[in-house]
Structure 1
């Protein structure tokens, strides 16, 4: 029996930006037809979706199989920490899935082994996608991924019962990291609860107007006095316990102190999708949350950190079948249905015109998050690093920041070391 594998990614960590680049490239080649027409099993993988979204996924599968009676769908759910490793192993072995969900941060790493999608997704196929989300999926003029969902504008989450003891006013929340860290320190001083669990990554530098790369993307550009000041500001809060001690953990999915386990008071910039896990695993925390606008960039806007997208490996033998399933899975109606069960933002324009978004209201944390997301869309920017090593570069910086926060080096030494790692990698 013919087999076609499709990997769909999970709700991300932090899902992230959208700048406005108009237009899409024309279809440059005719999509090859399967010969004979595809019949058989389409296997697709998800990442940590079965626990919370089984009904949604199985409902789509049932509908697709009804519309394509000669195709059966096999669903495999993959643990989040194994997703990139499994894809790398598949590429190395040559036994690749026919389509794969890739976080945009990881896209550059896999581009050499991905199929350009221009032959399968023409202008008509891309017409409903937001152009500012499609364009960052192109490299060297070729489309390597089709956007799925993202976190929209970030939101801030505050535990009312804790931050109220520090004088927090949810109608006037912190608008900068400086204000947020000051609140975090006050929260700890008055309650002995850590304020937050965020440490300065490359996004924090970007929020303070620090450029990350030179214009030609060949060298690091963040080693500046401004970046030193940002790191030292966070270090002061870390030393005062405004930032939780476990924030330096490498396992960012399971930090020792979190909103979910009730050991931090707030997150000044978060992915709204985190609300679902809090609701399911810590309902008392969920009911206590105030959702507000997050901290802003020095330019006044917000940044989308990443988005979930679909790609097709070049070694796939059923590219057209995979592309057709991707089109179905990411269409406006199906994205809207997903958005109704978790506070995420779609990549399709038609979805955003539904009353679910245009008439969003209510005090429930998820409803409040949708209001923040919709309001923040005009100020949302998606500007990925745009190299083939975005994920590695981000981790190189975080390694040095963790060492700095734990006192083993100065801010200057951390930035010097990270700059060398970036330049070596980019070379």
Structure 2
């Protein structure tokens, strides 16, 4: 993506014209489990639009970003590409992502507002991918551990102040044996705490403000008294999940797939499981979103836009949600009984809880916040927790390094 900042060329945002030609469609690690679904989807589109053909390419999860970068540099980027918001950024900056506000703005009202905005980039006008499927992680908590700590098992914390209070109580009552949480704060935690993460122009990060420092101080207090797992600074999601299963951590984010796992592998945890939205000071949960970007230099732009819209329309998103535990980004879809009515099964318990929170959820992770920046923040947070730096110094240093990386990215 070395063409950073290059223009997409005259007329690159126009998608008017006849829907015809061969559309190359690239997904990200979906063929293995959903071959039949996508083959049916493609056949339906080709039938609806005679004169079109869709060639489906599926790339493995590993090195997907590198593959996109190589295709962009080599001029071989497919017409419709599965991206997350952060992956769309360098392509949009290189003039390779079609601005859908201009080319397909008539479809905007079909999607949830938060989902459409998730593919907007600070400092650039426009929206650079159709929102596709969404997810969010409800929090699981262990009612038995809450009860043993003298906490109300039917009223888990919903705000950070209450979380910190309950976490200290649990550590105190269990003599440091039970930690409330297993991970140090990541960028979305700062967002849920109400910390402004970036300026509106997208030129600098701002999570080292007074509120950000306050959050890190509170987490350090938890760490110091054993209310945060002792390995929280290095724990990956898998390790934290194991500790939750072993009942040494009282709260942990998860998905519907985890409930079945608990039932099978940890029945004593399963019978005490509680489900609650993630803790937040903003009243809005975190949204994870996938999108479909249209190549601004596609030679079959009308067909590419038509196909990306077809894949992400309400009917087809709903069909996909029946295949796998994801949620549609289309307006009104989450009101369907499939997402609102429980039938006593574990799957619906989590599905209904997650769907409810997604209606107002936002993607807290700034689209310009790269994996490299996530590592910078994690390392600086660890230094603050271990007392090597003050929370203020650690966050100032993290912001300075992330700003440097931002500038060097063009």
How big is each residue's C-alpha offset from its partner over 1:365-415, in whole Å with a ceiling of 9 and x where there is no partner?
Answer: 4322333334435653456646x4555544432231133334443322211
Task: Give the match for residue 326 of structure 1.
Answer: 308
Selected match of 1:105 from 69, 80, 86: 86
Change (3 A) 1:226 1:144: closer
Task: Give the match for residue 221 of structure 2.
Answer: 236
Task: Give the match for residue 356 of structure 1.
Answer: 338
How big is each residue's C-alpha offset from its partner over 1:229-261, in whole Å with a ceiling of 9 and x where there is no partner?
Answer: 3112212323444333443338x4x54231587
Aligned-pair distance for 1:161? 5.0
Aligned length in residues: 386
Structure 2: 5+ residue stretches without partners: 1-11
How big is each residue's C-alpha offset from its partner over 1:179-234, in whole Å with a ceiling of 9 and x where there is no partner?
Answer: 33454455563694543223212322233333223454433333234333311221
Task: Give the match for residue 417 of structure 1.
Answer: 397
Aligned-pair distance for 1:275? 2.4
CA contact (8 A) 1:305 1:384 kept: no
CA distance in 1, matches of 2:88, 2:250: 31
SS in 2 for 1:142: coil
After TM superposition, the score normalised by the length of structure 2 is 0.78
CA contact (8 A) 1:160 1:290 kept: yes
Change (3 A) 1:54 1:193: farther
CA distance in 1, matches of 2:359, 2:42: 34
For residues 50-61 of structure 1, the aligned pairs below 5 Å read 50=31, 53=34, 56-61=37-42
Task: Give the match for residue 202 of structure 1.
Answer: 187
Over the aligned positions, Cα root-mean-square deviation in angstroms equals 3.7
How big is each residue's C-alpha offset from its partner over 1:108-165, in whole Å with a ceiling of 9 and x where there is no partner?
Answer: 233123232449853443342224432443443333111112225x522124455443
CA distance in 1, matches of 2:322, 2:164: 33
After TM superposition, the score normalised by the length of structure 1 is 0.75
Change (3 A) 1:416 1:128: closer
Structure 1: 5+ residue stretches without partners: 1-26
Selected match of 1:311 from 293, 298, 301: 293
CA distance in 1, matches of 2:177, 2:119: 44
Change (3 A) 1:315 1:205: same
The 10-residue stretch of structure 1 (236-245 or 416-425) with the greater mean CA deviation from structure 2:
236-245
For residues 241-320 of structure 1, the aligned pairs below 5 Å read 241-249=226-234, 252=236, 254-259=237-242, 262-263=245-246, 265-267=249-251, 270=253, 274-276=255-257, 279=260, 283-285=264-266, 287-288=270-271, 289-297=273-281, 299=282, 301-320=283-302
